[in-house]
């Protein structure tokens, strides 16, 4: 029975499968065949085993599971006939892989076959070993393979060489054994052995550096000679492809020369002649010739500098780029990427061609060209290049928009010569493709806007115009909403007009209209609506005339089903109704956000998208552990650069928290390294009143997130009104801190913490000035040494009554503070009464550090607002 005619059964099966019209039919046929095969396996059918295996392979290729055939493969391998062995090995390689345990059973058969007298069987075994051996198999059979490297038959030698590659990959320790045989392989004449020998040497160099040294010293002349022989050899029909003898061998030799010459000047010198010869004499009208030229240019670019060669290479590059064949152009663009590191000026000459390629209809070429453009940009040409890219953005496909947008944004950020240009470009990008833009990008934009104080008017007017035009791009809407909220007065009063602007009249109600649109529009997401609510709130303070209308709008959201909106609207309407006096303090202008801190943090969480450009080096001031290195191999996959969702790296997004958008622990930014705009208190968190030792304090950076700074820097803030405020200032986790501020005033029931019996502490005059005295009484619960209850008593020492009395306190990060509502707001004069307020302090560093606190007291007397501040250092040590 002829095992390889496969009978009619295999053919019939194939015919049957082809005749199936639907997938269900095909599955039925396959299932029947599998059942038949399984039955045959159970019966241990000898004759048709090979045929069954052939059928199994076909079925496997179609994608059906075929693991029941694995033992059949082993049985076939173990049989003595060559055809059976052949198909057994084929099945082995197709149906199994190195992870299956069944493979271990094959090791013995393999060992026997490796020592077989029939060289074809040896070849089979080597092939199988080379394709799927696991580490243990490799270790066991390595000595046999080594021996076979010197076998008399060249076919065996070549297969043994490739097998060795796999072995050294799996077991790098064995690499030294193969060094010597490998170098002798390089002196062969047979092309098959030569090509595999070269590949073996290439891999040896990659795996072990001493192999690299060894080859560098001994083999370079031999290699150069071989290459010369091949390049000059006469026509040989066996290996000839398109007039060139064995281009594959050419290419492999060039690759090995590249690895050997990289970084080593002497080695590079030996190669220069042959490289020049190959580069100049290879014909380039056929693909084979071009392939060799491509490899040659890559090699020239990688080895040590030699002026003449480089010129040759760049010429070839130029020829490739202007070729009409798309394949060649693609390859040319690839080469340019390598060349740019070596000789940037030459690449700049080809800038126009590259820009054209960006607009090419071929997707692969477009991608390559885009990456090149990104690499090419420097300060001098950033403006025209960005203009081109933005124009292209408008016409590009959807799948590219994300890439291009990200690239444009990073370009603009890195190289923008002037803030106004930056803002302009970003506005254009956002209006085109705002939906593809990542959050960090528009956060950065907001920071830049807030830093460019002279451009506020211009920016807000531009944004308003764009916002009126369309509300499609959500990031744009968010930025617009924020700006209008912040700088609404500039918008209405046309403050800070620049020469290039046209005048625009916007009334207050127009601005409020715009915000209303943002809230009501169905398409916009939760974040945008929340931002619009805050913006309206800000506007209510800046535009007192519209305040009623704004209140109505905000109140409409009180019953919103979304918790975020509901909470905000309730809080804001509460403030609007009852706490008018603090409203203006709450919504003052934002402090100028610290660009450096932000960019440092951002660079830690956003990897750059191009591998060859250098990563923005930065010292993360807050010591976030995430490395700044980009996923280098991932040129094409920009979406994988999200910051991890841990609260640590949400510090990478502090602006988001600044805007109060996230419900997660908001980390307030630092804004105090530059003097605040209005000179009054600095708002650390939009929703709460913060103490601002900034103006007075010496260490001006109130950076909650900078743990590398002095831990004792008095930091977070507390709302004196809020009773629920929970400040979680973790000393341990360096980045995240500050909890949600909750403006609900004391309507929630906070029971007075009763002062339990515990160790008694003397009462402390915490603060005393000519007009006011504050005393603290301490108590503690016995089981909880870290928590202290303080009752603060305020006594008025002046002859005037104090109204609207407000006490605030701030503590460093390792403390947690809770304030209960005060007993009253009015402090009678001359000590006739007092106000008491309860505080609860938890010291996470109990025993190591004692309490410190900064306080601020605000009140009205004789129609004057008075503010007193101080620091309390004299707490008992063991609190």
Site membership for another protein, residue 19 (CB under 8 A): no
Q: How many CB atoms lie within 10 A of CB 671?
A: 24
The smaller minimum CB distance to another protein, of residues 57 and 535, is found at 57
Site membership for another protein, residue 196 (CB under 8 A): yes
Site membership for another protein, residue 549 (CB under 8 A): no
List Cα–Cα distances, 274 to 196, 202, 225, 229, 292, in angstroms. 21, 19, 9, 10, 13
Min dist CB 184 to another protein, Å, is 19
The smaller minimum CB distance to another protein, of residues 18 and 848, is found at 18
The smaller minimum CB distance to another protein, of residues 246 and 685, is found at 246
List Cα–Cα distances, 196 to 146, 175, 520, 671, in angstroms. 14, 16, 69, 64
Q: How many CB atoms lie within 10 A of CB 304?
A: 15
Site membership for another protein, residue 464 (CB under 8 A): no
Where in 438-457 is the site for another protein (CB under 8 A)?
none
Rounded distance between C-alpha atoms, residue 517 and residue 467, angstroms:
10
Contact 440, 598 (CB under 8 A): no
The smaller minimum CB distance to another protein, of residues 330 and 814, is found at 330
Q: Which region, judged by CB under 8 A, interacts with another protein, from 97-105, 440-448, 741-749, 757-765?
A: 97-105
Min dist CB 98 to another protein, Å, is 7
Min dist CB 369 to another protein, Å, is 12
* DSSP letter, residue 776: E
Site membership for another protein, residue 501 (CB under 8 A): no
**Rg of the Cα trace of the chain?**
38
Min dist CB 289 to another protein, Å, is 9
The smaller minimum CB distance to another protein, of residues 333 and 718, is found at 333
State which H helix or E strand residue 819 sits in: strand 815-819
Residue entry with tokens 């000179």: 679
The smaller minimum CB distance to another protein, of residues 123 and 591, is found at 123
Number of residues that bind another protein (CB under 8 A): 80
Min dist CB 234 to another protein, Å, is 16
Q: Which region, judged by CB under 8 A, interacts with another protein, from 61-69, 214-222, 658-666, 683-691?
A: 61-69
Min dist CB 480 to another protein, Å, is 37
The smaller minimum CB distance to another protein, of residues 3 and 600, is found at 3
Min dist CB 424 to another protein, Å, is 33
Min dist CB 317 to another protein, Å, is 14
Name the token pair of 683: 């708002």
Q: Which region, judged by CB under 8 A, interacts with another protein, from 4-12, 142-150, 220-228, 658-666?
A: 4-12
The smaller minimum CB distance to another protein, of residues 252 and 461, is found at 252
Q: In the chain, what are the helix, strand and coil shares in percent, each to the nearest 5?
A: 55, 10, 35
Where in 348-407 is the site for another protein (CB under 8 A)?
361-365, 367
Contact 527, 478 (CB under 8 A): yes
Min dist CB 290 to another protein, Å, is 5
Q: List the one residue from 20, 36, 74, 127 that touches another protein (CB under 8 A).
A: 127
Q: List the one residue from 71, 82, 118, 263 that touches another protein (CB under 8 A).
A: 82
Mark residue 63 as left, alpha or beta (left: phi above 0; alpha: psi -120 to 50; beta: remaining).
left
Pairing of strands 815-819, 803-810: unpaired
Binding mask 620-659 for another protein (x = CB under 8 A): -------------xx-xx----------------------
The smaller minimum CB distance to another protein, of residues 336 and 666, is found at 336
Rounded distance between C-alpha atoms, residue 821 and residue 792, angstroms:
11
Q: List the one residue from 76, 168, 249, 535 that touches another protein (CB under 8 A).
A: 249
Q: Which region, judged by CB under 8 A, interacts with another protein, from 70-78, 319-327, 464-472, 657-665?
A: 319-327
Contact 460, 418 (CB under 8 A): no
DSSP string, 576-631: HHH-HHHHHHHTSPPPPP-HHHHHHHHHHHS--S-SSSPP-----TT---S-----
Where in 255-314 is the site for another protein (CB under 8 A)?
255, 287-288, 290-291, 294-295, 298
Where in 733-792 is the site for another protein (CB under 8 A)?
none
Rounded distance between C-alpha atoms, residue 322 and residue 748, angstroms:
75
Pairing of strands 240-241, 787-796: unpaired
Q: List the one residue from 30, 48, 69, 86 that touches another protein (CB under 8 A).
A: 86
Min dist CB 105 to another protein, Å, is 18
Q: List the one residue from 65, 417, 625, 831 that touches another protein (CB under 8 A).
A: 65
Q: Which residues contact 735 (CB under 8 A, 6 or more apart)?
A: 622, 623, 624, 647, 648, 649, 651, 667, 705, 707
Q: List the one residue from 178, 214, 330, 802 that touches another protein (CB under 8 A).
A: 330
Q: List the one residue from 4, 397, 760, 874 that touches another protein (CB under 8 A).
A: 4
Site membership for another protein, residue 339 (CB under 8 A): no
Three-class DSSP category at 682: coil
Contact 622, 650 (CB under 8 A): no
Rounded to the nearest 10 degrees, the angle between the axes of helix 439-451 and helix 474-493 is 20
Q: How many CB atoms lie within 10 A of CB 16?
A: 16
Min dist CB 37 to another protein, Å, is 16
Name the token pair of 835: 């106000």
Q: List the one residue from 7, 14, 574, 733 that touches another protein (CB under 8 A).
A: 14
Q: Exposed (0-12), middle (13-18) or buried (19+): which is 710, by Cβ within 10 Å?
A: exposed
Rounded distance between C-alpha atoms, residue 669 and residue 44, angstroms:
75
Site membership for another protein, residue 68 (CB under 8 A): no
Site membership for another protein, residue 191 (CB under 8 A): yes
Name the token pair of 1: 């029975």
Q: List the one residue from 87, 463, 713, 718 that touches another protein (CB under 8 A).
A: 87
Residue entry with tokens 């976030």: 624
Name the token pair of 842: 């938890």
Where in 143-182 is the site for another protein (CB under 8 A)?
155, 158-159, 162-163, 165-166, 169
Site membership for another protein, residue 251 (CB under 8 A): yes
Name the token pair of 813: 């990060």
Rounded distance between C-alpha atoms, residue 268 and residue 305, angstroms:
8
Name the token pair of 815: 């403390």
Contact 726, 779 (CB under 8 A): no
Min dist CB 785 to another protein, Å, is 56
Site membership for another protein, residue 316 (CB under 8 A): no
Q: Which region, judged by CB under 8 A, interacts with another protein, from 189-197, 596-604, 708-716, 728-736?
A: 189-197
The smaller minimum CB distance to another protein, of residues 43 and 238, is found at 238
State which H helix or E strand residue 787 sits in: strand 787-796
The smaller minimum CB distance to another protein, of residues 166 and 856, is found at 166
The smaller minimum CB distance to another protein, of residues 97 and 391, is found at 97
Contact 148, 111 (CB under 8 A): no
Q: Which region, judged by CB under 8 A, interacts with another protein, from 35-43, 123-131, 728-736, 737-745?
A: 123-131
Q: Which region, judged by CB under 8 A, interacts with another protein, from 38-46, 84-92, 344-352, 556-564?
A: 84-92
Rounded distance between C-alpha atoms, residue 481 and residue 496, angstroms:
19
Q: List the one residue from 25, 47, 97, 548 that touches another protein (CB under 8 A).
A: 97
The smaller minimum CB distance to another protein, of residues 207 and 741, is found at 207
Site membership for another protein, residue 90 (CB under 8 A): yes
Rounded distance between C-alpha atoms, residue 634 and residue 467, angstroms:
36
Site membership for another protein, residue 184 (CB under 8 A): no
């Amino acid at each position: 029975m002829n095992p390889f005619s496969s009978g009619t059964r295999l053919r019939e099966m194939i015919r049957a499968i082809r005749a199936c019209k639907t997938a269900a039919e095909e599955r039925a046929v396959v299932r029947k065949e599998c059942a038949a095969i399984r039955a045959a396996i159970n019966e241990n059918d000898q004759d048709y085993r090979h045929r069954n295996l052939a059928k199994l392979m076909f079925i496997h290729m179609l994608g059906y599971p075929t693991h029941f055939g694995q033992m059949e493969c082993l049985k076939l391998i173990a049989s003595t006939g060559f055809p059976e062995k052949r198909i057994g090995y084929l099945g082995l390689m197709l149906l199994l892989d190195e992870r299956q345990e069944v493979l271990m059973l094959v090791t013995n058969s393999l060992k026997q076959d490796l020592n077989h007298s029939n060289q074809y069987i040896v070849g089979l075994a080597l092939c199988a070993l080379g394709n799927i051996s696991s580490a243990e198999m490799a270790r066991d059979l390595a000595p046999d393979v080594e021996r076979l490297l010197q076998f008399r038959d060249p076919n065996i030698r070549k297969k043994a060489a490739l097998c060795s590659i796999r072995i050294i990959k799996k077991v790098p320790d064995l690499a030294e054994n193969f060094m010597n045989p490998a170098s002798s392989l390089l002196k062969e004449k047979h092309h098959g052995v030569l090509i595999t020998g070269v590949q073996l040497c290439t891999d040896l160099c990659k795996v072990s550096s001493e192999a690299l040294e060894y080859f560098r010293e001994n083999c370079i002349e031999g290699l150069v000679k071989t290459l010369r022989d091949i390049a000059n050899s006469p026509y040989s029909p066996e290996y000839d492809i398109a007039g060139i003898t064995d281009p594959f061998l050419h290419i492999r030799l060039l690759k090995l020369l590249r690895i050997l010459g990289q970084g080593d000047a002497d080695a590079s010198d030996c190669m220069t002649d042959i490289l020049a010869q190959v580069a100049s004499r290879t014909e380039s009208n056929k693909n084979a010739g071009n392939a060799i030229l491509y490899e040659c240019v890559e090699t020239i670019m990688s080895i040590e500098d030699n002026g003449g060669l480089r010129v040759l290479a760049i010429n070839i590059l130029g020829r490739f780029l202007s070729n009409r064949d798309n394949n060649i152009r693609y390859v040319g663009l690839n080469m340019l990427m390598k060349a740019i590191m070596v000789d940037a000026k030459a690449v700049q000459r080809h800038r126009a061609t590259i820009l054209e390629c960006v607009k090419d209809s071929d997707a692969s070429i477009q991608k390559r060209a885009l990456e090149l453009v990104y690499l090419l940009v420097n300060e001098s040409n950033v403006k025209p290049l960005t203009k081109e890219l933005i124009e292209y953005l408008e016409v590009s496909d959807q799948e590219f928009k994300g890439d291009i947008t990200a690239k444009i944004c990073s370009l603009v950020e890195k190289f923008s010569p002037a803030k106004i240009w930056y803002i302009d470009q970003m506005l254009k990008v956002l209006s085109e493709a705002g939906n593809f833009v990542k959050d960090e990008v528009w956060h950065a934009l907001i920071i830049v806007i807030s830093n460019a104080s002279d451009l506020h008017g211009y920016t807000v007017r531009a944004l308003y115009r764009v916002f009126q035009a369309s509300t499609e791009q959500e990031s744009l809407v968010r930025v617009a909403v924020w700006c209008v909220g912040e700088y609404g007065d500039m918008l209405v009063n046309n403050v800070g007009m620049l020469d290039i602007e046209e005048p625009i009249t916007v009334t207050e109600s127009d601005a409020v209209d715009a915000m209303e649109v943002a809230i009501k529009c169905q398409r916009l997401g939760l974040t945008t609506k929340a931002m619009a609510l805050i913006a309206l709130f800000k506007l209510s303070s800046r535009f007192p005339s519209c305040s009623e209308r704004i209140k109505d709008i905000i109140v409409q959201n009180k019953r919103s089903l979304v918790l975020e909106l509901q909470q905000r609207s309730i809080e804001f309407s509460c403030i609007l109704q009852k706490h008018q006096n603090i409203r203006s303090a709450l919504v003052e202008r934002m402090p100028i956000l610290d660009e450096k801190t932000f960019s440092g943090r951002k660079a830690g969480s956003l990897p750059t998208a191009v591998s060859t450009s250098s990563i923005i080096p930065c010292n993360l001031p807050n010591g976030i552990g995430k490395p700044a290195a980009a996923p280098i191999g991932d040129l094409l996959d920009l979406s994988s650069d999200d910051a991890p969702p841990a609260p640590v790296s949400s510090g990478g997004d502090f602006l988001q928290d600044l805007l109060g958008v996230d419900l997660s622990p908001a980390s307030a930014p630092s804004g105090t390294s530059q003097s605040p705009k209005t000179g009054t208190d600095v708002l650390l968190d939009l929703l709460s009143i913060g103490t601002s030792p900034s103006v007075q304090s010496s260490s001006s950076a109130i950076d909650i997130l900078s743990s590398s700074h002095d831990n004792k820097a008095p930091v977070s803030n507390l709302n004196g009104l809020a009773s629920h405020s929970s400040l979680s200032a973790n000393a341990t986790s360096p980045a995240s801190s500050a909890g949600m501020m909750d403006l609900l005033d004391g309507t929630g029931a906070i029971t007075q913490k009763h002062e339990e019996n515990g160790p008694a502490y003397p009462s402390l005059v915490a603060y005393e000035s000519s007009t006011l005295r504050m005393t603290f009484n301490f108590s503690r619960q016995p089981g909880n040494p870290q928590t202290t209850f303080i009752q603060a008593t305020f006594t008025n020492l002046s002859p005037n009554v104090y109204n609207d009395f407000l006490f605030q306190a701030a503590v460093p990060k390792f403390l947690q503070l809770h304030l209960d509502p005060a007993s009253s707001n009015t402090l009678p004069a001359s000590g006739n009464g007092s106000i008491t307020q309860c505080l609860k302090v938890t010291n996470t560093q109990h025993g190591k550090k004692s309490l410190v606190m900064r306080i601020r007291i605000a009140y009205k007397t004789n129609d004057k607002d008075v503010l007193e501040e101080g620091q309390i250092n004299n707490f008992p040590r063991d609190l």
